[in-house]
Amino acid sequence: MIPSSFPDRTEIARLSARMLLEIKAVHFSAEQPFTLASGLPSPTYIYCRKLISYPRIRSTLMDFLTVTVMRNAGFEAFDNIAGGETAGIPFAALVAERMGLPMTYVRKKPKGYGRNARIEGEMREGQRVLLVEDLTTDGGSKLSFVDAIRETGAQCAHTAVIFYYGIFPETEKTLDDHGITLHHLCTWHDVLAEARAGGHFDDTTLAEVEDFLNDPRAWQAARQS
């Protein structure tokens, strides 16, 4: 059931960032950077999967994500909600419940036996599918999921995430070139602003994170061994 009233986009971003900080899903480390899936260093790391263990925050963010999609894409724009394996699965289920729609999920690769399919659940030809995930960095991982959806004959032109890095300028072009519109709640810039306002990290760490967000490629290049 979707509540009838929601904050505007700016307040949704601020509150989403605040909730991520409150449950310590945000990690900043300037002296010992994290290693991203790409192998590149980063002073930031976000653990969105942690949200499933916090019912009040989880519920609020799923309300926010649902209304954001409906505001941006339309209230009757979708027929099926698909989660990407594995992080997107619980969030897709929660969004599907709110929108009163069927839910499916997309495997990263065929399971190698049985139907050997990438789509689990029922996805029909011509259905308009929303892909839900926890986050996106450069958008690349979304393309494979979208392609698997489209191979069924369904349509997929939208993906929704709780968290979008928002620091790599090529991301939205990558998605746009693939015919995908991105919807999100907050970015690293929103988290940094809320971290400063709430005094969550020391000034030196926040300054280092800001340097990274302003020019991530240069920051990474300077710290690669």
Q: Over 136-178, what HEC string results?
A: ECCCHHHHHHHHHHHCCCCEEEEEEEEEECCCCCHHHHHHHHC
pLDDT band at 138 (very low <50, low <70, confident <90, very high): confident
What residues contact 203, with CB distance under 8 A and at least 6 apart?
none
Two tokens at 41? 């260093």
List phi, psi (to 5°) of 21.
Answer: -70, -40
Q: What is the mean pLDDT of residues 111-121?
A: 78
Position 150 pLDDT exceeds 80? yes
Core vs surface per residue 73-86: b (16+ CB within 10 A) or e:
beeeebbbbbbbee
User: Across the strands, what pairs with 46?
Assistant: 26
**Which tokens hold the place of 25?**
């899903």
For the segment 63-85, what is each residue's pLDDT rounded down to a tens digit?
Answer: 999 999 999 999 999 999 999 99
The answer to whether residue 114 scores a pLDDT higher than 90 is no
Q: Per-residue pLDDT tens for 11-56? A: 999 999 999 999 999 999 988 889 877 778 899 999 999 999 999 9
Domains of the chain: residue spans and CATH: 9-223 (3.40.50.2020)
Look up the pTM and report it: 0.93
DSSP 109: S
Q: At what angle do helices 170-177 and 140-150 cross, to 10 degrees?
A: 10
pLDDT tens digits, residue range 26-37? 999 988 889 877
